[in-house]
């Protein structure tokens, strides 16, 4: 680490004590952006990164609700409105017991760069609550979502801040929050994305993060004259991103052999085909059961505790949560000759793991580039809502493919090293930074 980076991180640490995830995300960006600023005079002495690490606004609020036994429960709601230089704040909401300010700030900071990469006019934001939907009845989830929106509605709007889903939030939760917003405001506007198709949602939005991830991997492989056909893939998670990454990778001729949840992972030596994926979708999205039930159903599969990174695979797609792939696990993947690692989740690889991949010349796609297809399609949902019409699947999927290929090209433009190796971390950070920085410079010190 350079002296300049160390002193910048000291400054961020002092201003944001006890926020390890946020510091981790800032560290990764600072290491590539500070040297870039140093050789680009137009960005110097403007305190750009110092301004970018400070959210424009953070809203923290009480979310009281009544459970099925009539007992009052209290959770904390947070919305971090990080950066609106290039568009209204945009980013998901996470409902998970681990949610805190550090996690939402890391996600909001990353989102700003990611949204810039999409080429769409989207600023960065993130929010959520420490509420755990797991084990709650449908009515409890509805009452929680309504109470959450009773405060959030004051701060969002179709041109101000447009939240969406993330971990723990799907169609059900978005529907309840949309309904409450409409009741409070007496207006029908696209203030959330990821909506149901019957009330303004977009085709392909559920699929888009996973599909986009696989389109990005296809581009990474293409510059090595490789394709997905016949490759073995290890995926973690079994939620929205993991499911559709599995679907698209299988369609492209790859064999997905693992999926996981917080209890462990399944290894299916024959691969998770279309029918088996349908079983997982029903298990996770409807029955809300554990992944171990897969191994009880399919003879070709076994269930294991822990994470799937000891399984031999050509491609690894961590798609569950932050810091779920560490240095030791990265070494295992490298020993097993992995050729591509691309992040479906946000910051799933620790900094030490990323270093292992880059030293071993494994192609590493960071989340802010590789999983940007979800928010990009949210941007397309916003466009359709504004135009008051719906585009067909082919049109949206075609736009998603183009966006992911463009993001890949931006990473190559800014990240290609002299020996031809592409440092996608550097490429994504610089490409994301340039657009936001230019907009901030144009708009003055605000």
Ligand X SMILES: NC(=O)C1=CN([C@@H]2O[C@H](COP(=O)(O)OP(=O)(O)OC[C@H]3O[C@@H](n4cnc5c(N)ncnc54)[C@H](O)[C@@H]3O)[C@@H](O)[C@H]2O)C=CC1
Give the interface with ligand X as residue ranges (CB under 6 A): 165-168, 209, 237-242, 260-262, 319-321, 324, 344-346, 371, 374
Query: CA-CA distance, 212 to 403, in Å (whole number)?
Result: 9
192 vs 425 by CB, closer to ligand AKG: 192
Q: Which does 214 bind (CB under 5 to 8 A by kind): ligand X, ligand AKG, none?
A: none
Greatest CA separation for the chain: 65
SS3 76: strand
Query: Are 159 and 124 spatial neighbours (Cβ–Cβ below 8 Å)?
Result: no
Q: 378 a known binding residue?
A: yes
Q: Which of 55, 77, 88, 91 binds ligand AKG (CB under 6 A)?
A: 91
Q: What SS3 class is residue 12? A: helix
Give the contact letters, 98-127, x = binds to ligand AKG (CB under 6 A), - = no: -------------x--x-------------
Q: Which is nearer to ligand AKG, 111 or 180 (CB)?
A: 111
Q: Is 202 in the site for ligand AKG (CB under 6 A)?
A: no
232 annotated as belonging to a binding site for a ligand: no
| 98-204-178 Cα angle (round to 5) | 55
Task: Write down the least CB distance from residue 149 to ligand AKG, Å.
Answer: 16
Question: What is residue 289's DSSP assignment?
Answer: -
Contacted by 75, from ligand AKG, ligand X, none: CB < 5 to 8 Å by type: none
The verdict on whether residue 111 carries a ligand-binding annotation is yes
* Cβ-proximal residues to 113 (8 Å cutoff; 6+ apart), any chain: 29, 124, 368, 428, 429, 432, 433, 436
Per the DSSP assignment, residues forming a β-bridge with 66 are: 72
318 to 347: interface string for ligand AKG, x by CB under 6 A: ----------------------------x-
Q: Give burial (CB, 10 Å; 0-12/13-18/19+) of 230.
A: exposed
Residue 347 backbone class (left: φ over 0; alpha: ψ -120 to 50; beta: rest): left
Instruction: Out of 33, 52, 117, 164, name the contact with ligand AKG by CB under 6 A.
Output: 164
Cα distance from N-terminal residue to C-terminal residue, the chain: 31
Tell me if 140 contacts ligand AKG by CB under 6 A.
no
The entry of ligand AKG, ligand X, none near residue 237 (CB within 5 to 8 angstroms by kind) is ligand X
Q: Are the C-beta atoms of 160 and 88 separated by less than 8 Å?
A: yes
| Minimum CB distance to ligand AKG, residue 375 (Å) | 4
- Please state, in angstroms and rounded to a whole number, the distance separating the CA atoms of residues 148 and 169: 13
Instruction: Compare residues 161 and 166 and give the one whose CB is closer to ligand X.
Output: 166
Q: Which residues lie below 8 Å from residue 198, measured CB to CB, with a gap of 6+? A: none
Stretch that binds ligand AKG, among 25-33, 357-365, 373-381, 438-446 (CB under 6 A): 373-381
The interface partner of residue 239, options being ligand AKG, ligand X, none and the CB cut-off 5 to 8 Å by kind, is ligand X
| Residue 442 beta carbon to ligand AKG: minimum distance, rounded to whole angstroms | 24
90 sits near ligand AKG (criterion: CB under 6 A): yes
SS (H, E, C) 128-170: EECCCCCCCCHHHHHHHHHHHHHHHCCCCECCCEEEEECCCCC
Please check if 240 is assigned to a binding site: yes
116 binds, among ligand X, ligand AKG, none (CB under 5 to 8 A by kind): none
**Residues at the annotated binding site for NAD(+)?**
209, 240
Q: Which residues are annotated as a binding site for substrate?
A: 90, 111, 114, 165, 378
């Amino acid at each position: 680490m350079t002296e300049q980076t160390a002193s910048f991180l000291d400054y961020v640490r002092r201003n944001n004590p006890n926020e390890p995830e946020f510091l981790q995300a800032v560290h990764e960006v600072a290491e590539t952006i500070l040297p870039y600023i140093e050789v680009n005079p137009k960005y110097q002495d403007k305190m750009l990164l110092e301004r970018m690490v400070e959210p424009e606004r953070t809203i923290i609020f009480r979310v009281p609700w009544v459970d099925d036994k009539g007992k009052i429960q209290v959770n904390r709601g947070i919305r971090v409105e990080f950066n609106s230089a290039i568009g209204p704040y945009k980013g998901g909401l996470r409902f998970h017991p681990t949610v805190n300010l550090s996690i939402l700030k890391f996600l909001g900071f990353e989102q700003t760069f990611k949204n810039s990469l999409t080429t769409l006019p989207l600023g960065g934001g993130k929010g959520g609550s420490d509420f755990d939907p797991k084990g709650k009845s449908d009515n409890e989830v509805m009452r929680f979502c309504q109470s959450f929106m009773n405060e959030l509605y004051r701060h969002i709007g179709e041109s101000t801040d447009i939240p969406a889903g993330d971990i723990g939030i799907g169609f059900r939760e978005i529907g309840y929050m949309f309904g409450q917003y409409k009741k409070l405001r007496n207006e029908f506007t696209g203030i959330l994305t990821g909506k149901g198709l019957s009330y303004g949602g977009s085709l392909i939005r559920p699929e888009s993060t996973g599909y986009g991830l696989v389109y990005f991997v296809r581009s990474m492989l293409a510059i090595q004259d490789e394709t997905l056909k016949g490759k073995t893939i290890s995926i973690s998670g079994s939620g929205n991103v993991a499911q559709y990454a599995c679907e698209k990778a299988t369609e492209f001729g790859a064999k997905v052999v693992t999926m996981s949840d917080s209890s462990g992972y399944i290894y299916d030596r024959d691969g998770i085909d279309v029918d088996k994926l349908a079983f997982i979708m029903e298990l996770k999205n409807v029955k809300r059961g554990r992944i171990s039930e897969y191994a009880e159903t399919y003879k070709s599969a076994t269930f294991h505790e822990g994470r799937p990174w000891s399984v031999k695979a050509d491609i690894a797609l961590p798609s569950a949560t932050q810091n779920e792939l560490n240095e030791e696990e990265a070494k295992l993947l490298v020993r097993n000759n992995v050729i591509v690692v691309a992040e479906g989740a946000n910051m799933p690889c620790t900094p030490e793991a990323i270093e292992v991949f880059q030293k071993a010349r494994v192609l590493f796609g960071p989340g802010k580039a590789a999983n940007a297809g979800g928010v990009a399609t949210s941007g397309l949902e916003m466009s359709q809502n504004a135009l008051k019409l719906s585009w067909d699947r082919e049109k949206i999927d075609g736009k998603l493919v183009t966006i992911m290929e463009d993001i890949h090209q931006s990473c190559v433009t800014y990240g290609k090293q002299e020996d031809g190796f592409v440092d996608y971390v550097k490429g994504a950070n610089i490409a994301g930074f340039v657009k936001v920085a230019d907009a901030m410079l144009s708009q003055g010190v605000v």
